[in-house]
Chains A and B, each alone.
Chain A
């Protein structure tokens, strides 16, 4: 029973009381229209047993100009032998922005008839799922409502925006012994000449160095080629609130997510083994893997990544579980950094990891909103100096640092940093 029925009931009761107190028949007659109103409503209320309504939900996802758009179509069909009056309502989920269409509708469906509800929504990222559709079956006046939850399962994943990078010529210190594209500095099968060694039984005759063999009687030499293997890459995305900055609708974290997604896509496309750790209040990780399935896992993880407030001391980057990455991995940390984050880089070096820091610049990101007066400019300068010192300190640990202004393209910076980082081998 809803408010409408209660209101009518209250009015009827009041009229009855007044009629009895005043013993006025005319006031009792006034009750008749209200009674007929209730009666007509009650008589047309559908019974629960006779309701046979089926819902079907279909989704279509498109992406234009980097904006993901999900078109949702809800088809509700009346399979009963009676006409039903329905109120269809689709609740709005968090972070959904409706672009067009309607989320609720009153409809009268004849037997076998169906109605379609269409709407489109967008979101920056996220996983959206629906298990059912809420429908109210009522009489034409909406006096008696029967709540129905019709199964209509569907899921949609809005992935972070990926900027396509060209292949990055990686030169990691260590490689995984799986055929790939990175010269591994090991002799074996490959295309580039690596060296010559004495012949071992079992070597292919095609690899015999005939010239050297001719110069050394009774000895055979075999040519070796440089093995090409894949790299082990670990991506760490910083999702702590302390390192995030939001200006209007623009979020520094979204740039970091997009960069992580782009790097993951590029590395996986090159055949490398990639893992991911999203470090925040809720720790999310994807264990090392290859290929499209791994890309799907990483995108799923990044879709769910959120910046959440965490007051715990474990929110320091120093508490990062770096041992989840294989010891020879190249670790890429995407973080704006706080002043207390330096120890993690020392630890990374101590454990023998090769690392790269991509630090989105929060000062440049927020610069347009900062005041132009002398005090503000001095404050900006001081903060820039502090950040520069922090990054220099990390760079002194032989960790390449990319001070990334998010308005700039990331690819050339990463390419230069990763190509340069080969020099660390000699350390």
Chain B
């Protein structure tokens, strides 16, 4: 059933996020980090009860802070990145669940939910894939190419900003 998809995905993403962060801290023997990661998991569950409060955003911010702290501490960078990425997915699914509420019986609402989940999977999957490939393949980029890439990104941002202003 599509109705339970978002709840199932929420649980899966939450577990993966907490597991990645705990495992990252656990592998380097920092048990305080593990405990804080588990507490963050509990905070996510609390945030699910109060989706319109600041709790969901606070939980996301704490998860990202934990991932950044783990990175700075020299823990597994891939696990920390995965932890923050899945925290983003957890946050998004929590907000989706809150927005749809109990009114998700209509066919078009189920279509929206499926489309949302597909887009989220695409965004998260492609993001993690890029990170994985980026960490796997080390390229020596010439300085000119680097400059061109930065210019491309800057112009791309300009286009996005213009697009946002036009549509929003």
The answer to whether A107 touches B167 (Cβ under 8 A) is: no
Are B103 and A26 touching (Cβ within 8 A)? no
Contact yes or no, B119 A41, CB < 8 A: yes
User: Which segment of B29-37, B41-49, B56-64 sits at the interface?
Assistant: B56-64
Q: Which of A125-151 contact B (CB under 8 A)?
A: 139-142, 144-146
Are A30 and B106 in contact (CB-based, < 8 A)?
no
A40–chain B nearest beta-carbon distance, Å: 4
Q: Contact: A140 with B112, CB < 8 Å?
A: yes
Contacts of A82 on B, CB cut-off 8 Å?
A: none
What does the 1/0 interface line of B139-168 toward A look like (CB < 8 Å)?
A: 000000000000000000000100110111
Shortest Cβ gap from A10 to chain B (Å): 9
Q: Judge whether B164 and A115 touch: CB under 8 Å.
A: no
Cα-based distance from A4 to B108 in the complex (angstroms): 23
Is B167's CB under 8 angstroms from A33's CB? Answer: no
A37-B124 contact, Cβ under 8 Å, with A29-B131, A29-B134, A141-B119: yes
Given the known interface contacts A32-B130, A107-B106, the answer about A47 and B167 at a Cβ–Cβ threshold of 8 Å is: yes
CB atoms of B112 and A44 under 8 A apart: no
Q: Is A396 an interface residue (CB 8 A)?
A: no
Q: Check: B81 CB closer than 8 A to any chain A CB.
A: yes
Interface residues of A in 13-62 (CB under 8 A from B): 15, 18, 22, 24, 26-27, 29-30, 32-37, 39-42, 44-48
The answer to whether A34 and B88 touch across the interface, beta carbons within 8 angstroms, is yes
Residues on B with beta carbons closer than 8 Å to the beta carbon of A39: 123
B28 interfacial contact with A, CB 8 Å: no
Decide: A107 near B68, CB < 8 A? Known: A32-B127, A141-B92. Answer: no
A308 on the interface (CB 8 Å rule)?
Answer: no
Task: Give the interface size class of chain B.
Answer: 35 or more
* Contact assessment for B88 and A37 in the assembled complex, using a CB-CB cutoff below 8 Å: yes
Please indicate the chain B residues that have their CB under 8 angstroms from the CB of A37 in the complex: 88, 92, 120, 123-124, 127
How many Å lie between the Cα of A1 and that of B163 in the bound state? 11
Q: How far is the CA of A144 from the CA of B160 in the complex (A)?
A: 11
Asked if A375 is an interface residue, CB under 8 A from chain B, the answer is no
Q: Which residues of A contact B (CB under 8 A)?
A: 1, 4, 7, 11, 15, 18, 22, 24, 26-27, 29-30, 32-37, 39-42, 44-48, 83, 85, 87, 102, 104-110, 113, 115, 139-142, 144-146
21 pairs from A and B in contact (CB 8 Å cutoff): A1-B164, A4-B95, A15-B64, A30-B64, A30-B71, A30-B80, A30-B81, A32-B131, A32-B134, A33-B84, A33-B124, A37-B123, A39-B123, A47-B166, A105-B108, A106-B99, A107-B108, A108-B112, A110-B111, A140-B118, A144-B167
Which residues of B are interface residues toward A (Cβ below 8 A)?
Answer: 57, 60-61, 64, 67-68, 71-72, 77, 80-81, 84-85, 88, 92, 95, 99-100, 103, 106-109, 111-113, 115-116, 118-120, 122-124, 126-128, 130-131, 134-135, 160, 163-164, 166-168
